[in-house]
Amino acid sequence: MNVMSEAWRYLREGDNWTGDGGMANLLGQQLLLTVTALVAALVIGLPVALWLGHLGRGGFLAINVSNVGRAVPTFALLALLVVAEWPGTQSFGPYGRAGLATLIALTLFALPPIITNAYVAVREVPADVRESARGMGMTGPQQFFRVELPLALPLVMSGIRLALVQVWATATIAALVAGPGLGRVITDGFFRSNYGKGIAGAIVVAAVALVLELLAALVQRLLEPAHRVAATPNRDVGMSAVASTVEESTDVVG
């Protein structure tokens, strides 16, 4: 309990939150790392996974590549990147020392849940809904954008939600290579036997992870109505969903 009281005292002192090495600045750095890595993973993995799911091909490759990504420890990957000639430990804009290496490691860490969920989400769109879309004269791209993607969004968002929280928590490893983020508070605290400081940093990381989880869960919940329609086995409901999608489009399908 003494360590927890020291952590609480550290969090309450305003000086610990200000300045270049303050908690607020380090929090902003870690958020920047997290958002950048997540966006990069979305740009790289999401279009490919969604399109493969639409085609019904490449599932074995997508799932197994994701499994390999989960098996490789992020810290081991980061260690390999920083000792290599490129990207090494050079500073990278606002991301600081070893910023590029950290971003690459975190981006690769974010890819597995995004790829897996996106692929599975499109493949799980009911077959009768696909048939109804084709029966109404939709082309492949129209079927994907007007029917499959809207119905797959909740499960896609579930993968993004998982990746977001995982990347945020894992971004603390940047401190192990003198990079930015709240990990510096944690490592410095334990290195100097100032356990209250280390626990304080861990508390902030956990609290922000909870906030990010709640926000992502809210977004996912807003997408749930489409998911419930997709999960309905009734063919009439599926056809109604396709019909309403077409009616909302400005382009009339013949």
**Domain extents in the chain:** 2-248
In this prediction, residue 70 carries a pLDDT of: 72
Tell me which of 23 and 1 has the higher pLDDT: 23
Element (H, E) at 10: helix 2-12
Output the pLDDT for position 75: 87
What is the dotted CATH code of the domain comprising 2-248? 1.10.3720.10
pLDDT in tens, 124-151: 888 888 888 888 888 888 888 888 998 8
Cα separation, 44 vs 104, whole angstroms:
12
- In angstroms, the CA 130 to CA 140 distance is 10
Half-sphere exposure of 221 (CA within 13 A, CB side): 6
pLDDT of 245 strictly over 50: no
Q: Are 69 and 162 in contact (CB under 8 A)?
A: no
Q: What is the pLDDT of residue 241?
A: 45
